[in-house]
Amino acid sequence: MGEPLDELHALFAAGVAAADPARIVPACVPAGSGQCHVVGAGKAAAAMARALEDHWPADRPPPEGVVVTRYDHGAPLRHIECIEASHPVPDAAGQAAAQRILAIAESLGADDHLLVLLSGGGSALLSLPAAGLSLEDKQAVSESLLRCGADIAEINCVRKHLSAIKGGQLAVAASPARVSSLIISDVVGDDPATIASGPTAADPTTLAEAREVLARYGIAVPAAIDRHLGNSAAETPKPGDARLAGVENHRVATPQASLEAMAALARSRGITPVILGDSIEGEAREVGRVMAGIARQVARHHQPAAPPCVLLSGGETSVTVHGGGRGGRNVEFLLGLAIALDGEESVHALAADSDGIDGTEDNAGAVITPDTLARARRAGLDPRARLADNDAYGFFAALQDRLMTGPTRTNVNDLRAVLIGQPP
């Protein structure tokens, strides 16, 4: 085993590389001879489109269409247009892109093929309010959902029922054309109905459940949204809908595959990997406390493995915002972990979002070392006060321990590695 932080950075890079569109899309280029219409949404949409163009057979008409991705996540394309828009709160650029994508779908006939490129972030980027709703209505609800601690399934349940394109509605618009999707999963369970709010998958959630989510978190909504969610005619297409019978949804990258790539690299470096799960959820700081307990069990009792050992996990924690600081769920996880470890010897950790953006900040995540708390106190930082103020970003920025990758142009959610080395 090499230097702990070098090992952690290498493990994270391996997890991201396993979901690189340039690596995974070429094998998924669809067969056929006619024109292929391409649309897409998500943080990986442009990179997926570029990989598709780069490996498109020379004897076929080049793919044409539109994809929308987050600002600064674009890629140079020859035939497919790329539009950049806001994430996580939708904006007018995303709405215009969604209108164009829906128009492409509606123009197709039975002999056409619509190829949909989907990845995490697609829900906010593919923002087309349902009839009678405004973009401002959706923006207000999105901001409230992101701050209240709701998980991604709850957020997407509401989003789908405020949309004219999500929850299977894009595929319905393209019917009777052939519809197939290539999907990079960033959600717990890898359910196509949840990834990017499932524009090509039947929606098992209901209007009633969307209303329950809003009530659960005490979110007041504009009158137009209240009326819409009470209108049974606004329900999304459900499993068994004949218009979705021929749709093919293919998961081409998943959090588990990235964790397995990280585990393989760890083994090659003499470190025993323990994959704790690809679907870890809960309050970020509390997940950090639990992870600290497992790390101590490894360090002190060599269970479930002896050091050197790395605890690997994925999923998406949540943060309930009470303070006024700058956060991100990965840095909040790490600050909770550091406080709970309280300087435990030989434990280092990295947590970062595989897309390179932790929440809405400019960092992917951060790292902690056994002396994180000691260095913080010497710098005049109070770790518990920073955590109470949801200011983990400021904490790690002051220590210069943020992980800055820039956009990775893929997204399989958060990747966490807690490395327990041999005691000195």
Rounded to an integer, the average pLDDT of 180-198 is 94
pLDDT band at 156 (very low <50, low <70, confident <90, very high): confident
* Other residues' Cβ atoms within 10 Å of the Cβ of residue 110: 8
pLDDT, tens only, 221-275: 999 999 999 999 999 999 999 999 989 999 999 999 999 999 999 999 999 999 9
With a pLDDT cut of 90, the percent of the chain lying above it is: 87
Q: Give the end of a domain, one of 217, 235, 253.
A: 253
pLDDT band at 75 (very low <50, low <70, confident <90, very high): very high
Query: Which range marks the domain in which residue 160 is found?
Result: 31-253
pLDDT band at 418 (very low <50, low <70, confident <90, very high): very high
Whether the CB-CB separation of 221 and 156 falls below 8 Å is answered with no
Whether the CB-CB separation of 136 and 144 falls below 8 Å is answered with no
Whether the CB-CB separation of 286 and 319 falls below 8 Å is answered with no
Check residue 148 and give its pLDDT.
86
What's 321's domain CATH number? 3.40.1480.10
**Could you tell me if 201 and 260 lie in one domain?**
no
Alpha-carbon dihedral angle through residues 370, 283, 354, 46, given to the nearest 10 degrees: -160
Residue 19 belongs to a domain: no
Rounded to an integer, the average pLDDT of 177-186 is 97
* Peptide bond just before 308 cis, omega within 30 deg: yes
CA-based nearest residue to 199, from 104, 279, 134: 104
Q: Give the end of a domain, one of 253, 287, 316.
A: 253
When the pLDDT of each residue in the chain is averaged and rounded to a whole number, the result is 95
Q: Where are the beta strands (DSSP E) in 144-271?
A: 178-184, 248-253
**Could you tell me if 280 and 227 lie in one domain?**
no
Residue 70 belongs to a domain: yes
pLDDT, tens only, 361-373: 899 999 999 999 9
Count of domains for the chain: 2
Residue 238 belongs to a domain: yes
Q: Give the end of a domain, one of 191, 219, 253.
A: 253
Residues shown for the chain = 424
**Could you tell me if 319 and 414 lie in one domain?**
yes
Those residues whose C-beta lies under 8 Å from the C-beta of residue 359, and which sit 6 or more positions away, are 319, 327, 328, 329, 353
**Could you tell me if 384 and 243 lie in one domain?**
no
**Could you tell me if 216 and 365 lie in one domain?**
no
Rounded to an integer, the average pLDDT of 357-386 is 96
3-class secondary structure, 108: coil
Rounded to an integer, the average pLDDT of 165-193 is 95
Q: Which long-range contacts (CB under 8 A, 24 or more apart) does 75-84 make?
A: 75/46, 75/47, 75/49, 75/50, 75/409, 76/50, 77/46, 77/49, 77/50, 77/53, 78/53, 79/53, 80/38, 80/49, 80/52, 80/53, 82/45, 82/46, 82/49
Check residue 31 and give its pLDDT.
87
Identity of the amino acid at 94: G
